[in-house]
Structure 1
Amino acid sequence: MNIGLGEAMALGSAATWAFGVILARQLGRSLPPATLNLFKNGLVLLVLAPVAWISTGGVLPALTGTQVVLALASGLMGIAVADTLYFRALNELGAGRMGVVGNLYSPLVLLMGYLFLGERLGPWQWLGFALVAGGVALVARPPKQWQTTPAHTARGVLIGLTSIALMAVSIVMLKHVLEAQPLLWITLVRLAGAVAGLVALAAWPKTRRHFRFDPKQVPWPRLLLAALCGQGLSMVLWLGGYKYAPAAVAAILNESASVFLVILGAVWLREPLGRRAVAGVALTFTGIACMLAARPI
C-alpha cells in the first residue's frame, strides 16, 4: 500500500469534515446557514493568521496577482457560497442523505482534472473509484423512515448538488497555486475571500435577514469546536491533500467523508444504520485500499 502525505491528509480531511458536519447539523437548530458559515470561517481566520505568519518566520510569500485572485475567488465560490448552500441542504436532507448528493463531487473533479490538469488514473485507481462510489451509494441511500415530501427533497437535492459542484470547481482552479505556494498562506487567503464575501452579504439589506439569530440560543463552545476542527483543521488537510497528491486521487479519498458521516450520524445522532450501510462501509474502505495500492500514471 502506497500512502503518501497527500493521501493521508485527504483521509484526515474526510474524517474531520464529517465530525464538523455532525456539529453543524446540531448548530443548524440555532443558527441560520449563512451565519454559521460566517462565524466558523471568521473564527478560523483569526486563529490561522498568526499561525501562517509564524510558519514562514514572519516573511510574506511571493504570491503573484493571479495567484491571489484565484485563491480569493476559490474561497468566495467554494466556502462563502458552496458551504452556505451545503449547510442549507444539510438542514433539509439530514446527515445521511447528504452522502447521496456528495457522490457528484469526485466524478466532477475527475473530469476537470482530466480536462484542465492532464491527470490520468491507473487500473487500481479506477477500481478504487468504482468501489468507493458503490460503497458510498450503499451507505448513504436513505431508508424509508428518512423520506420527506417530494418537493422538500427536490429542493434540498438541488441546493446540495449546486454546493458540491461549486466545491469541485473551486479546488481544481486552485491546484497549481497550491503546488507552488505555502499551504497555510493559500488557506489564509482563500479564507479571507470567503469571509469578505460573507460579510458583504451580511451587510447587504436584501440578504441581511438570512443572518439573523438569537445569541442566547447558540451553543458557543460547540461552535468553537466545529470551527477549529470541522472547518479549520479539515480545510488545511483538504487543501494539503490536493497540494501533495493528484486532484483525482484526493477527490476520491475525500468521498470517504460520506462513510464517516453516516457512521457518526448513527453513533452520535442515532440515525438508522442497517446491514446495507455496514456493507457500504466495507466496500468503501476496500476501494480506498485499492486507491492507495498504486499511484496514478
Structure 2
Amino acid sequence: MGIGEAMALGSAAAWAVGVILARQLGAHLPPLTLNLLKNGLVLCVLAPVVLLLHAGAWPTMPVRDLLLVLASGVIGIALADTLYFRALNELGAGRMGVIGNLYSPLVLLLGFVFLDERLGGAQWLGFALVAMGVLLVSHPTRGRPSDPGHTLRGIAFGLLAIALMAVAIVMVKRTLETQPLLWVTLLRLCGAVAGLVLIALLPSMRQRMRFVPTNVPWHRLVLAALVGQGLSMVLWLGGYKFTTASVAAILNESASVFLVVLAALWLREPLGRRGVVGVLLTFGGIACILLGRATP
C-alpha cells in the first residue's frame, strides 16, 4: 500500500468517526452555521501549525494555482458541504449515502477528461465491488415515510453537492502534486471560510443561521471538527497528492462502510446480513485496487 492509498483510506475512516461524533449536531445547528463553525475551528488550529512549519521558508505558488486553491475551497467546502448537510437533513444518511455513490464515477470521468488518468483491470473490478458494497450498506430502509417535496429538494441538493466536491478536488490535483500538503490545505480552508462568511452576511441567510448556544454539545462539535473535518481533510488531500484522483476517489467511497462498522461497534446499531455482505464486498474491492496498478 502506497502513502496515497493509505491516506485515502485514513480519510474515509476519519470522516466516519467525525460523522459518529457529530450525528446529533444537525438537530441544534443549521447547515451553514455547522459548516462555518467546523471549518473555523479547524482553521484556528491549522493556521499556527502551518505558520510555524513554514516560518522563514514560505512556499512559492503561481497566482493561477493560488486562485485555483482558493476557488476549490469555496466550491468544495463552502458551497458543497453546506448543500451536503442540507441534503442530509432532508433525506437522512441512508439515501444520502446512495447519492454519494456518484462521487467516484464523477471523479473518474473528470480525471479521464482533464488529467488523462486511466484505471487498470484490477482497479475497475475494485471499483465495481466497492460500489456494490456501499450500495448494500447505505440503501435506505423500506417503508420509511417521506415527504415528496423534501425528497426531491434533498436529491437536488445532494446531487449538486457531490458534483461540486468532484470538481473542486480535480481542479487542484496538479497543484497538490507540486506544493506542500499542509500549505494547500490551509489556503483551501481560507477560501472556504471566506466564502462561508460572505454567504452568512447575506440578509436572507441571517435568519437561517440562528441557534441556541446552550443546546449545542460543544465538546462534540470540537471533536467532530478536528477529526471529521481537519484530520480527514488533510488525509483526503494527501490521498489525491500521492496517488491518482481515480484511485483516491474509489477508496474514499469506503467511508460509508467504515461508518456502518463504527455504528455497529460503537453505537451497537445492528449490522444485518446485507451490511455484512456489503462490508466484505467493499474491502474485497479495496484489496483489488491496492493489488493493481493505476496507469496515470
* Shorter-chain TM band: over 0.9
The answer (yes or no) to whether the contact 2:22–2:220 under 8 Å persists in 1 is no
TM superposition score normalised by structure 2: 0.96
Structure 1: how far apart are the matches of 2:140 and 2:267? 15
1:106 matched to 2:99: no
**SS at structure 1 position matched to 2:101:** helix
Q: Figure out how many residues of one structure are paired with residues of the other and give that number.
A: 295
Aligned identity (percent) is 68
Structure 2: how far apart are the matches of 1:160 and 1:264? 23
- Give the C-alpha shift of residue 210 in structure 1: 2.0
- Give the C-alpha shift of residue 271 in structure 1: 5.2
Structure 2: how far apart are the matches of 1:146 and 1:180? 48
Deviates more, 1:49-58 or 1:214-223: 49-58
Structure 1: how far apart are the matches of 2:255 and 2:141? 19
Instruction: Name 1:221's counterpart in structure 2.
Output: 219
- Aligned pairs for 1:48-67 (under 5 A) are 48-67=46-65
Residue number among 25, 28, 31 corresponding to 1:30 in the alignment? 28
The answer (yes or no) to whether the contact 1:124–1:291 under 8 Å persists in 2 is yes
Structure 1: how far apart are the matches of 2:44 and 2:3? 26
| CA deviation profile, 1:188-219 (whole Å, cap 9, x unmatched) | 00000110011111122122122111111111
**SS at structure 2 position matched to 1:28:** helix
Structure 1: how far apart are the matches of 2:96 and 2:151? 11
Structure 2: how far apart are the matches of 1:145 and 1:266? 22
The answer (yes or no) to whether the contact 2:94–2:141 under 8 Å persists in 1 is no
Paired amino acid for 1:177: T
Structure 2: how far apart are the matches of 1:256 and 1:190? 24
- Aligned pairs for 1:144-159 (under 5 A) are 144-159=142-157
The answer (yes or no) to whether the contact 1:95–1:265 under 8 Å persists in 2 is no
- Aligned pairs for 1:1-297 (under 5 A) are 3-268=1-266, 273-297=271-295
- Give the C-alpha shift of residue 261 in structure 1: 2.0
Structure 1: how far apart are the matches of 2:105 and 2:60? 33
Structure 2: how far apart are the matches of 1:295 and 1:110? 15
Paired amino acid for 1:165: A
The answer (yes or no) to whether the contact 1:75–1:192 under 8 Å persists in 2 is yes
**SS at structure 2 position matched to 1:143:** coil
The answer (yes or no) to whether the contact 2:8–2:236 under 8 Å persists in 1 is yes
- Give the C-alpha shift of residue 263 in structure 1: 2.6
| CA deviation profile, 1:224-267 (whole Å, cap 9, x unmatched) | 00111100000000000000000000000000011112233445
Structure 2: how far apart are the matches of 1:255 and 1:196? 28
Structure 1: how far apart are the matches of 2:273 and 2:204? 47
Paired amino acid for 1:15: A
Structure 1: how far apart are the matches of 2:12 and 2:56? 31
TM superposition score normalised by structure 1: 0.95
The answer (yes or no) to whether the contact 2:123–2:294 under 8 Å persists in 1 is yes
* Shift >6 Å, 4+ stretches: none
